[in-house]
């Protein structure tokens, strides 16, 4: 939920096997049953052994330019799910790797798919601004929360009705606010990128249940809010 009839305290607010070539000494003659002065059996072993070793090593690798079958084996699927911040059954496990998502540009506040917006932006109500200043995402308690893009943390701590909150000044000079967290994992002055883990969702402050309040502001002060869904859409991120 957005704050009650007070302002926002948060405003103070990551070989081909080399063939064995054995040359004869000048003037030497091969012994019967040999080639180039070496027994044929020894020559065959010298040639085939490196090839066999190379084949065994290559068998454990992907050929260049190929990709594994879709989904991979169960162990790969479990590892992939964990890297994306979910357990095998889709339960939040740990935050996504920054390097795994930052390359994709801007991201959603949470990695979960098909997240429901339980309270949209702009609806009229008993708020100091007269309307809901952000959106509420219906996510389970403890869901990893991440920065949607590059910026610098300007506030991380308790923020009145917002509960535990994090505010980030984005590179485009807008401000993103994440409220009602159960914990934060960043500090003021820390630089973050798209996908950087900043905390976990919770039920702190003035709420009616666990969720994530995500807010975007044109300026740092309360009441300068803009539509978060449209803001993310301008950066190529679909939400809701």
The catalytic site residues sit at 211
Q: What's the pLDDT band for 55 if we cut at 50, 70, 90?
A: low
Check residue 211 and report its DSSP letter.
B
CATH number of the domain bearing residue 188:
2.70.70.10
The tens digit of pLDDT for each residue in 179-219 reads: 999 999 999 999 999 999 999 999 999 998 999 999 999 99
230-236 CB contacts, 8 Å cutoff, 24+ apart: 231/174, 232/106, 232/108, 232/148, 235/105, 235/106, 235/148, 235/149, 236/105, 236/106
Owning domain of residue 188: 98-234
Please name the residues in contact with 190: beta carbons below 8 A apart, sequence gap of 6 or more.
Answer: 152, 153
For the ranges 21-35, 86-100, 188-202, the lowest mean pLDDT is seen at 21-35
Cα–Cα distance for residue pair 130/61, rounded to 1 Å: 60
Does 8 map to a domain?
no
The predicted pLDDT at position 201 comes to 98
Please name the residues in contact with 150: beta carbons below 8 A apart, sequence gap of 6 or more.
Answer: 170, 171, 191, 192, 193, 194
Cα–Cα distance for residue pair 15/232, rounded to 1 Å: 50
Q: Which residues pair with 100 in a beta bridge?
A: none
End-to-end CA distance of the chain: 17
User: How are the residues of the chain apportioned to helix, strand and coil, as percentages rounded to the nearest 5?
Assistant: 20, 25, 55
The predicted pLDDT at position 184 comes to 97
Cα–Cα distance for residue pair 82/123, rounded to 1 Å: 36
Cα–Cα distance for residue pair 167/176, rounded to 1 Å: 6
Are 90 and 220 in contact by the 8 Å Cβ rule? The answer is no
Are 151 and 134 in contact by the 8 Å Cβ rule? The answer is no
More confident residue, 103 or 224: 224
Q: What's the pLDDT band for 95 if we cut at 50, 70, 90?
A: low
The predicted pLDDT at position 155 comes to 98
The predicted pLDDT at position 46 comes to 52
Does 194 map to a domain?
yes
Does 70 map to a domain?
no
Does 19 map to a domain?
no
Cα–Cα distance for residue pair 186/165, rounded to 1 Å: 11
Does 52 map to a domain?
no
The predicted pLDDT at position 117 comes to 95
Q: How many domains does the chain have?
A: 1
The predicted pLDDT at position 48 comes to 55
Q: What's the pLDDT band for 230 if we cut at 50, 70, 90?
A: very high
The tens digit of pLDDT for each residue in 157-182 reads: 999 999 999 999 999 999 999 999 99
Give the residue carrying structure tokens 């039920």.
Answer: 203
The predicted pLDDT at position 85 comes to 40
The predicted pLDDT at position 239 comes to 82
Does 21 map to a domain?
no
Q: What's the pLDDT band for 54 if we cut at 50, 70, 90?
A: low
Check residue 88 and report its DSSP letter.
T
The residue among 106, 176, 204 whose CA lies nearest residue 186 is: 176
User: Above 70 in pLDDT, residue 88?
Assistant: no
Does 181 map to a domain?
yes
Does 151 map to a domain?
yes
For the ranges 18-27, 63-72, 145-154, 226-235, the lowest mean pLDDT is seen at 63-72
The predicted pLDDT at position 127 comes to 84
């Amino acid at each position: 939920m957005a704050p009650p009839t007070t302002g926002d305290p948060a405003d103070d607010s990551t070989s081909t096997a080399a063939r064995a070539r054995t040359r004869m000494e000048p003037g030497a003659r091969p012994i019967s049953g040999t080639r180039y002065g070496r027994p044929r059996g020894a020559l065959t072993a010298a040639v085939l052994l490196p090839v066999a070793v190379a084949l065994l090593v290559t068998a454990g690798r992907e050929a260049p330019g190929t990709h594994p079958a879709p989904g991979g084996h169960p162990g790969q699927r479990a590892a992939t799910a964990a890297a994306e911040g979910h357990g095998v059954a889709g339960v939040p496990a740990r935050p996504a790797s920054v390097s795994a998502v930052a390359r994709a540009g801007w991201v959603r506040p949470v990695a979960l798919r098909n997240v429901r917006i339980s309270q949209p932006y702009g609806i009229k109500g008993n708020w100091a601004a007269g309307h809901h200043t952000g959106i509420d995402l219906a996510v389970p308690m403890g869901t990893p929360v991440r920065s949607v893009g590059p910026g610098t943390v300007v506030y991380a701590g308790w923020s009145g009705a917002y509960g535990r909150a994090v505010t980030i000044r984005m590179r485009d000079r807008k401000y993103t606010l994440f409220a009602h967290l159960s914990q934060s994992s960043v500090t003021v002055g820390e630089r973050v990128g798209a996908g950087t883990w900043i905390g976990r969702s919770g039920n702190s402050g003035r709420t009616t249940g666990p969720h994530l309040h995500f807010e975007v502001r044109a300026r740092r002060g309360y009441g300068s809010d803009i539509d978060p869904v449209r803001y993310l859409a301008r950066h190529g991120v679909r939400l809701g």
